[in-house]
Amino acid sequence: MMHVSLAQFEVARADAAANLARIAELAAEASAAGSDLLCLPEMCTTGFDWAYNRAHLSFAAEDAANVAGFAQQHGIAICGSMLEQTESGNAANCFHYFDARGTVCARYRKLHLFTLFHEERHVEAGHECVCFDSDFGPLGAGICYDLRFPELFRRNTEAGARLHLLPAAFPHPRLEHWRTLVRARAIENQTYFIAINQCGVEGHDRSVGETQYFGHSMVVDPWGEIVAEAGEDACLLQVEIDPSLVSQVRSKLSAWEDRRADLFSF
């Protein structure tokens, strides 16, 4: 069995110190509760103030190192999306996975940038899917808007992922899209899907306005059943999952084996 904590909280906009302090508290709490993995939401170290983020880019690696230190200190794996500086000096929205020893096991840069909020003006998009090995088996990474693009999760499942991790900042009024798509990605790939969302309110520039994140962080099993789902308030959702269920589901319903990979390639 695998014990997971989903940290649904309001990310402090343009305040890395406050967010790191919160993450440290969550790591201690999740570890004390016996969790193997702490999942954080999208851009959990800074939020989406891009003027601040550009000025903060040179500190992004230090922020990630701090989170790695929390993982090592508390003996718990930690994942989430954070600000990262690319090789060309631009900003990236990057998923990080640190194991319980504080080692970086995976980094994945968001492929699909959210044009409705003009993310493409501020962020350098990633160029590759990422499925990686962990102490819990092979895992697949995605970030927020990626949820709408099933090819990414199909590719990661083909690479061996048995569980997908998706930090997000999904806002109203798209709650039902979120709930439907998370379940769909689990059902079509016959894998677990863990989606961790922000909650609270964030103010953007005048072209975007104020955003209300709706929470509803979720864990969905390979049958598409909701194992756990948060409400709209901040919480640390504790969940126990059984990775062997993936094989059990596929043995009872052979949809994964019956796919026509010879006709549909990505």
pLDDT at 266: 55
Percent of the chain predicted with pLDDT > 90? 94
Taking only the tens place, the pLDDT of each residue in 220-262 is 999 999 999 999 999 999 999 999 999 999 999 999 999 998 8
Q: Is residue 263 part of a domain?
A: no
Q: Which domain holds residue 37?
A: 2-258
Residue bearing tokens 């689990």: 186
Residue 265 within a domain: no
**Using one digit for the tens of pLDDT, what is the confidence trace for 43-59?**
999 999 999 999 999 99
pLDDT digits (tens, 9 = 90+) for 55-64: 999 999 999 9
The CATH number of whichever domain residue 34 belongs to comes to: 3.60.110.10
CB 164 within 8 A of CB 191: yes
Number of domains in the chain: 1
User: Is there a domain that residue 245 lies in?
Assistant: yes
In a domain, 223, yes or no: yes
pLDDT in tens, 183-219: 999 999 999 999 999 999 987 666 667 899 999 999 9
pLDDT in tens, 117-163: 999 999 999 999 999 999 999 999 999 999 999 999 999 999 999 99
pTM of the full structure: 0.97
In a domain, 67, yes or no: yes
Q: Please indicate, yes or no, if residue 195 is contained in any of the structural domains.
A: yes
For 140-193, the DSSP string reads EE--GGGGG-HHHHHHHHHTT-SEEEEEE--BTT-HHHHHHHHHHHHHHHTSEE
According to DSSP, residue 59 is labeled: G
Q: Is residue 95 part of a domain?
A: yes
Q: How far apart are CA 187 and CA 153, in angstroms?
A: 11
Give residue 114's pLDDT. 97
Residue 266 domain-assigned? no
